A = this chain, B = another copy of it.
Amino acid sequence: MIILIFLLLFTITCESSPNPTIFEDINRHQEEYVQRLKEWVAIESDSSDPLKREEVIRMMHLAAERLKELNATVELVELGSQKLYGHDVPLPPVILAGIEKDPKKPTVCFYGHLDVQPAKFEDGWSTQPYNLTEKDGNLYGRGTSDDKGQVLAVLHAVETLQKHELPVNVKFVFEGMEEVGSNGLFTLVEQRNSTFFSNVDYIVVTDTLWLSNKPGITYGTRGNCYFFVEVQGARKDLHSGSFGGVVHEATGDLIFLLNTLVNSSGHILIPGIYDAVVPPSEKEVEFYKESEFNAAKIKRTFGIRNFTYSAKEEILMRRSCYPSLSIHGIEGAFSASGTKTVIPAKVTGKFSIRLVPNMEPSVVINQVTDYLKEKFAERKSPNHISIKCVIQAKPWLSDIDGPLYLAGKKAIKKVFNTEPEMFRIGGTIPIGSHFQEVTGKSAMFLGIGGPDDAPHGQNEKLSRYNFIEGTKLYAALLQELVSL
Q: Are B240 and A342 in contact (CB under 8 A)?
A: no
Partner of A329, one of B180, B333, B345: B333
Residues of B within 8 A of A180 (CB): 338-339
The answer for the CA separation of A459 and B303 in the assembled complex, in Å, is 44
For chain A, what secondary structure do more than half of its interface residues adopt (helix, strand, loop), or is it mixed?
loop
Among A35-43, A54-62, A195-203, A304-312, the stretch that binds chain B is A304-312
- Please give me the residue from chain B that is nearest to A209 by CB atom: B242
Residues of B within 8 A of A265 (CB): 248
A116 to chain B, nearest CB (A): 11
Q: Are B325 and A244 in contact (CB under 8 A)?
A: yes
Q: Are A245 and B342 in contact (CB under 8 A)?
A: no
The answer for the CA separation of A258 and B344 in the assembled complex, in Å, is 15
The answer for the CA separation of A118 and B344 in the assembled complex, in Å, is 13
Q: Are A245 and B426 in contact (CB under 8 A)?
A: yes
Q: Are A341 and B248 in contact (CB under 8 A)?
A: no
The answer for the CA separation of A50 and B352 in the assembled complex, in Å, is 34
Quick check: is A285 within 8 A (CB to CB) of the other chain? no
Complex interface bits, A359-383 against B, C-beta within 8 A gives 1, otherwise 0: 0000000000000000000011111
Q: Are A238 and B324 in contact (CB under 8 A)?
A: no
* Interface members, chain A 245-270 (any B CB < 8 Å): 245-249, 251-253, 255-256, 258-259, 262, 264-266
Q: Are A245 and B354 in contact (CB under 8 A)?
A: yes
Residues of B within 8 A of A264 (CB): 248, 252-253, 256, 379-381
* A residues in contact (CB < 8 Å) with B: 48-50, 84-85, 117-118, 123-124, 180-181, 209, 222, 224, 226, 233-249, 251-253, 255-256, 258-259, 262, 264-266, 301-309, 315, 318-319, 322-331, 333-345, 350, 352, 354, 379-383, 390-391, 425-428, 454-459
7 contacts between A and B (CB under 8 A): A235-B304, A238-B304, A242-B427, A242-B456, A245-B266, A264-B380, A339-B352
